[in-house]
Chain A
């Protein structure tokens, strides 16, 4: 059964989303911090400008720094965002000479500013402000004491600028994601086009069309197309085999039927009861053969198409012995020397169907009886190997030409012989049964003897 497990589009989409998500998160974090850095740089330089403007206005009088705070410094500090502004001018002792910071500049900050200009974001009465401090070494007439200038403002301008910068990056990023998604959709469509083409070409095929596919497919689909072609090839073979079998079967059935017709016609033209009787005997024998042929055809068709039967663990030695005993008593076996090589001491256990194994052994014996001259030796043997067991039958008949060996298991193949009463189905039935038991059929000529046919069974796990 074919179950739909998501779509390729969705899978690719999810991966795209994951990729964009992870990359995007990194990118946006980076964009956010860099936007803040940029905004801080821009506004920090304004703090510096304001600090320098104040520094310019510092003068000394009576050993005290005095400064006429320049109005411009406040405007620079406030920026166009109208920030709240903070400032303090500290003398060498750290006292606030003037300002509105209420002594918020700690001694630690003052020490930091002594080393060089500093910028810091601090909390002042619950409001975050950015402070800039610089020390000014004075060159007055009376004093050489340093003065510290601290200026600061609230952060709304920085936040607005950073937000603006970030928003722009975000917009660009989203646009990029959108374009990437569209391109990805296009890519998915393009990438899946061969699949669609393959599907269409499959869909347009006739039900009984088993020719190989002719399609241009990408490397990833080659295996699948090849597998399909192999499947078609097997179907083709199966169909051909079926047609051949049907044709052969019809042919095989027609021959005895034609014989029956001609015998009965001849008998009808005759007035001699003796000839009638003779004809009747011929008809009887022929009908028996035809019936047996039909039975074998039926059994072969059943074996080929029947579903797996139930398998039991059984002893192959016992099956072989019983079947041989049964056959040895039949009339057909009276003119041959039917023998059994010594069986293995231990039971040979395999998984199998009792009835079909009997059928198989019977066919092997029947085959040997039919295709060897009377008086031939026929020997059955069971040989154990590691992991497998071989059931074989060897005769002292004329053997089979090498080119035919490979075709022996095909239906209606009589080993190049037309002189027997065999239907040519025996080994085909053996082959089918062997396949049902995962066993392999092998046939070879043995020098000095006749034909050797073996069936290699895999051993069941227990026996191993």
Chain B
């Protein structure tokens, strides 16, 4: 008898834990969204839904897309910044619709079919190193950037960086959208090519290069990451282009074959709900979409600051054109031609 009670106590301590672990619904989120950026929201979600065990996997856009298409069991929620790919998956029927009040009241321009929702509002920015300002007027517009690339080619040679359209879905989407807005975009590509632009896979790599001094100017970065970085790295300056600024939205959908649909819907609802959006606006640089949410990072506040020249990439079927293989091929062919067009001349 003397030896029994500690064992019983141990058992009593363990039982609730295991029972609780068994009762918790797992929820697998595959996301192309840095965990450290979204962490406040994840924490709040876990706090609000203690019976859901959240497994959040932060991956590249291409990997997220592959997992959404191929992996079994399918992830519950898919989040990605590669908007055309997300829309293509929804068009294939990989998403299931949400009927919650939050989903129904979500702005029409930021959702498609009530199946996929753009829940952030991230401006695309140009970032330059403070050093650059000593030698030239920092570029405030796309035209400015092209001008300094042309006029200060010697000084900026090798110090320019942007997304690789072939390796990054986000970068490809941004360039496609740029090309839709102005044919002069190709002049900019040619100018970047002449300055021996370095093509990076993601925003973080570009920011690292800027802080290292490797790059002086960087084009088409995710404003959310850049602004977050600039808070702790005073040597980088974030410029929202003054002529037009693209806005990228992270898109989230509940997978059609989600093993835990209730938990998945709860998660997306939380993303779209006022509480989740308030966390986005207050504790992350992802910018809230909802106009009624107040905080330092809201779409409304951004509009107030940079005016009406924000051009969100539209969430509609036209995005499908970007993932058309022929169109992508044609675009890449043109990209390769334009980026080397001035080199040949030299």
Interface residues of chain A, those whose CB is within 8 Å of chain B, are: 66-75, 77-78, 82, 84-85, 89, 97-100, 125, 127
Chain B positions within 8 Å of A85 at CB level: 91, 317, 320
Inter-chain pairs besides A66-B330, A78-B317, A98-B325, 17 sampled, C-beta below 8 Å: A68-B327, A69-B324, A69-B326, A69-B327, A70-B321, A71-B180, A74-B321, A78-B316, A82-B112, A84-B93, A85-B91, A85-B320, A98-B324, A99-B324, A100-B88, A100-B91, A100-B320
Docked pose: A138 CA to B88 CA in angstroms: 29
B interface majority secondary structure: helix
Docked pose: A85 CA to B325 CA in angstroms: 16
Chain A positions within 8 Å of B112 at CB level: 82
Chain B positions within 8 Å of A89 at CB level: 326
Chain A positions within 8 Å of B92 at CB level: 84, 100
Docked pose: A68 CA to B318 CA in angstroms: 12
Q: How far is the CB of B244 from chain A (nearest CB, A)?
A: 17
Docked pose: A69 CA to B322 CA in angstroms: 8
B104 lies within 8 A of chain A by Cβ = no
A-B contact count (CB 8 A): 59
Q: Please state if B316 and A125 are interface contacts (CB–CB under 8 Å).
A: no
Docked pose: A165 CA to B26 CA in angstroms: 45
Q: How far is the CB of A108 from chain B (nearest CB, A)?
A: 25
Chain A positions within 8 Å of B184 at CB level: none
Chain B positions within 8 Å of A72 at CB level: 318
Docked pose: A97 CA to B321 CA in angstroms: 14
Docked pose: A171 CA to B238 CA in angstroms: 60
Docked pose: A97 CA to B88 CA in angstroms: 18
Docked pose: A83 CA to B294 CA in angstroms: 34
Docked pose: A100 CA to B326 CA in angstroms: 12
A72, A74, A89 — most chain B CB neighbours (10 Å): A74
B309 lies within 8 A of chain A by Cβ = no
Chain B positions within 8 Å of A66 at CB level: 326, 329-330
Q: Please state if B91 and A84 are interface contacts (CB–CB under 8 Å).
A: yes
Q: Please state if B317 and A82 are interface contacts (CB–CB under 8 Å).
A: yes
3 tightest A-B CB contacts, nearest first: A78-B317, A71-B318, A74-B317
Q: How far is the CB of A70 from chain B (nearest CB, A)?
A: 7
Q: How far is the CB of B177 from chain A (nearest CB, A)?
A: 10
Docked pose: A75 CA to B112 CA in angstroms: 12
Residue of B nearest to A79 (CB): B317
- Picked from A71, A73, A98, the residue with its CB within 8 Å of the CB of B326 is A98
Chain A positions within 8 Å of B326 at CB level: 66-69, 89, 97-98
Q: Please state if A82 and B93 are interface contacts (CB–CB under 8 Å).
A: no
B113 lies within 8 A of chain A by Cβ = yes
Residue of B nearest to A67 (CB): B326
Q: How far is the CB of B322 from chain A (nearest CB, A)?
A: 8
Docked pose: A89 CA to B327 CA in angstroms: 12
Q: Which of B310-344 contact A (CB under 8 A)?
A: 316-322, 324-327, 329-331
